Amino acid sequence: MELYIDDANIEAIKRLIDLYPIDGVTTNPSILAKARKDPKELLSEIRRIIGEDRILFVQALPLDAKGMIEDAKKIVESFGSNTIVKIPSIPEGFKAIKELKKEGIRTCGTVVYTPLQAYLAAKAGASYVAPYVNRIDNMGYDGVAVVKKIQNILENNGFDCKILAASFKNSNQVLELCEYGVGAATCSADVIDSFVNNAAIDKAVDDFVKDFEKLTGKHSMKEVL
Ligand code: E4P
């Protein structure tokens, strides 16, 4: 499963990229608004931090296909070819995804709440589809179950499209989808940190350090070898 940072906070991105095996950064207009910075400068800085090899997801703003296509071209021109344009999975969005596919611009069908929305985005030619796990849970449905259904649809129809599961509020939601083998998940910094946030892990590593110190008075193998 690919793992993305669903955040535009520069310090968080630098820290997570340094520590974890991260495949890129996903943004949306609300995430950009939260950062309260010029979007062009902010996205350029994120691109500098993550390098050209990692993927950056940037969302097109217009709600009509023509506008989405114009935004998509400008986004890829501005932030490089390893940028995927998020397009809302609405009727005009499917039209834009079809056209962008023909022009070789990769897209992610976003704002996915239902399996058939994902089906249409994948069939239109999206490289990723982004179902919103926690928002679906909050509507009284089972977000993880919806994503599993989408995974079955993609696999059983042979679509060349991955799931970018999004809108997580806890690591258990991510765990279930990782076990199921979905293509990608995008999580906020605190959810990624929670993968290893565990007192038993902290105690185990502390005990190793203390036991070795008792034996040798040292804190590394290089001091005793
Ligand atoms: C990512 O692509 C989505 O836009 C995002 O994960 C939505 O998350 P939220 O439900 O926390 O806003």
Residue 101 pLDDT level (bands cut at 50, 70, 90) = very high
Distance 28 CA to ligand 1 centre (A): 7
2-194 maps to CATH 3.20.20.70: yes
The per-residue pLDDT of the chain, averaged, comes to 97
- Ligand 1: which residue has its CA nearest to atom 1? 166
Q: What is the mean predicted confidence (pLDDT) over 107-112?
A: 98
Q: Give me the pLDDT at residue 57, please.
A: 98
| Ligand 1 binding pocket includes 166 (Cβ within 6 Å) | yes
Q: What is the mean predicted confidence (pLDDT) over 85-92?
A: 98
Domain ranges, ordered by start, for the chain: 2-194, 198-225
Q: Give me the pLDDT at residue 83, please.
A: 98
d(CA 208, CA 204): 6
pLDDT tens by residue, 120-176: 999 999 999 999 999 999 999 999 999 999 999 999 999 999 999 999 999 999 999
Q: What is the mean predicted confidence (pLDDT) over 40-54?
A: 98
Q: Give me the pLDDT at residue 16, please.
A: 98
Q: Give me the pLDDT at residue 9, please.
A: 97
pLDDT tens by residue, 58-77: 999 999 999 999 999 999 99
| 3-state DSSP of the chain | CEEEECCCCHHHHHHHHHHCCCCEEECCHHHHHHHCCCHHHHHHHHHHHHCCCCEEEEECCCCCHHHHHHHHHHHHHHHCCCEEEEEECCHHHHHHHHHHHHCCCCEEEEEECCHHHHHHHHHHCCCEEEEEHHHHHHCCCCHHHHHHHHHHHHHHCCCCCEEEEECCCCHHHHHHHHHHCCCEEEECHHHHHHHHCCHHHHHHHHHHHHHHHHHHCCCCCCCCC
Substitution site in 2, 5, 6, 135 for ligand 1 pocket (most atoms within 8 Å of beta carbon): 6
Residue 50 pLDDT level (bands cut at 50, 70, 90) = very high
Q: Give pTM, 2 decimals.
A: 0.95
Q: Give me the pLDDT at residue 133, please.
A: 97
Q: Give me the pLDDT at residue 85, please.
A: 98
- Ligand 1: which residue has its CA nearest to atom 5? 167
Residue 119 pLDDT level (bands cut at 50, 70, 90) = very high
Task: Report whether 153 contacts 119 (CB < 8 A).
Answer: yes
pLDDT tens by residue, 171-199: 999 999 999 999 999 999 999 999 999 99
Q: How many CA atoms lie within 13 A of 156 on its CB side?
A: 7
Substitution site in 26, 55, 132 for ligand 1 pocket (most atoms within 8 Å of beta carbon): 132
CA 198 to chain centre: 23
Active-site residue, 86 included: yes
